[in-house]
Amino acid sequence: MTRTILHMADVHLEASFSSSGLPSAVGARRRQDLRAAFERALSLAHKHGADAVTVAGDLYDGRYALPETGNFLAEALASLSPIRAIIAPGCADPYSDDSVYALTRWPANVTILPHGTFSAVRVAPDLTIWGTAWGPEDPGELPRVNASGGERHLLLLHVGQVAGDGSGPALPGGLTRESVRAAGFGFALLGGGHVGEVWPRDHPCGCFPGSLEPLGPEEMTGSHGAVIVQIADDGTCTAEWSPVGRWRYVSLTVDLSACATPDQAARRIEAALKRDRVRTDARAIAAVTITGLPAEGLDLSEVQGLIETRAHLTIRAERPVPYELDRLAQEHTVRGLLVRRLCASHDVGQPLDDDLKRNALILALRALDGKGVRPGEIA
């Protein structure tokens, strides 16, 4: 018979969000919504008749999790019973003697996989899940499993900080589709990539579900949510994403060159926010890039204060550096030394893509030229 697994990873309960520049109240709301997304994901297990729920690491952020986090998880996972829940701790939630994993009283249907060896958990008469917790050392060679006689085996693993290689995130130890297949596994339930995708992209034999909610602007595209993995009688596996998140990141570009006043600029940005209903979405985080400013300049902080929206905004001005950096870099002057140092490992003939470095360079060069800077001119 067809077997079903509900798979998730990289939930990051208790994430800080402080680096995003969001107000603390918004960060608190995001943490509450991460819990709600996790509960919505668990509800899919009963809906789809799952044989087990798997979590491939980074279920919570170990830097900020408290015992109450464990109590929440234990209660939520107990609601799955009799469905089994198998957790392979990751790099953000490593298993240790003082971790939430070790200090929480878990219900009988929950298994926390240890580090150092692959453990087997039989979730149905013909289906076994193998996995291990993440650790700084490579988990080593995969165990060989018997895939004959109708037996089906899945691999559960958090791969740590993944790196794109053109075919999807890379597994540790040089593991490949071929090695997963050769070991007898029908599918790999993976974690460590915050954007969901099948692995590898060419002839996949596994998947990264991605975070339940996008956790940063770099995750605004791609899949997020829980994955329903179905294993057919012949061992063929299919993966279908079920979105459970509510938050989204949006990137907008607005030209303010025709705006003479802050109020006109605010109205222009509001018009852009109306697209895709961003302006009225209290769970939208919009990065607004200004590509043009009037000659007399605008105070962007004043403009932002005039914008009426429920979305959470960050505004930056994208300006080319008003200097010929390639020429300045050749000068044997303080200006030349400044350009060479700030543009180290960068093609000075191309625009700087680091906002902080670009703005610092403009300020420094203008100071050397004896020029002032108007309020709001440097974003």
168 lies in the same domain as 289: no
What number is the average pLDDT over the span 326-343? Answer: 83
150 lies in the same domain as 24: yes
177 lies in the same domain as 224: yes
d(CA 192, CA 176): 16
- pLDDT on residue 169: 47
β-sheet bridge partners, residue 248: 284
The mean pLDDT of the chain is 87
Give the range of the structural domain holding residue 82, as residue numbers without chain letter: 3-242
Tens of pLDDT, residues 134-153: 987 776 788 999 878 889 99
Last residue of a domain, one of 268, 301, 318: 318
228 lies in the same domain as 261: no
What number is the average pLDDT over the span 313-329? Answer: 78
What number is the average pLDDT over the span 57-72? Answer: 96
Q: Which two tokens stand for residue 128?
A: 């076994």
222 lies in the same domain as 335: no
- pLDDT on residue 278: 96
Residue 329 has pLDDT above 90, yes or no: no
Q: Within 48-196, where are the H helices?
A: 67-78, 100-103, 177-182
Peptide bond into 200 cis (omega under 30): yes
Residue 23 has pLDDT above 90, yes or no: no
Last residue of a domain, one of 242, 270, 305: 242
Residue 211 has pLDDT above 80, yes or no: yes
Task: Give how many domains the chain has, as a whole number.
Answer: 3
Between 160 and 81, where is the model more confident? 81
Residue 20 has pLDDT above 80, yes or no: no
356 lies in the same domain as 263: no
d(CA 160, CA 134): 7
216 lies in the same domain as 333: no
CATH number of the domain to which 159 belongs: 3.60.21.10
185 lies in the same domain as 228: yes
195 lies in the same domain as 52: yes
d(CA 75, CA 231): 28
109 lies in the same domain as 171: yes
332 lies in the same domain as 201: no
Question: pTM for the whole thing?
Answer: 0.82
Residue 172 has pLDDT above 80, yes or no: no
Residue 373 has pLDDT above 60, yes or no: no
Position 379 confidence tier, pLDDT thresholds 50, 70, 90: very low
β-sheet bridge partners, residue 85: 53, 110
Last residue of a domain, one of 242, 270, 300: 242
7 lies in the same domain as 124: yes
The CA-atom distances, in angstroms, between 317 and each of 3, 252, 255, 289 are: 52, 12, 10, 6
Q: Which two tokens stand for residue 226?
A: 């829980």
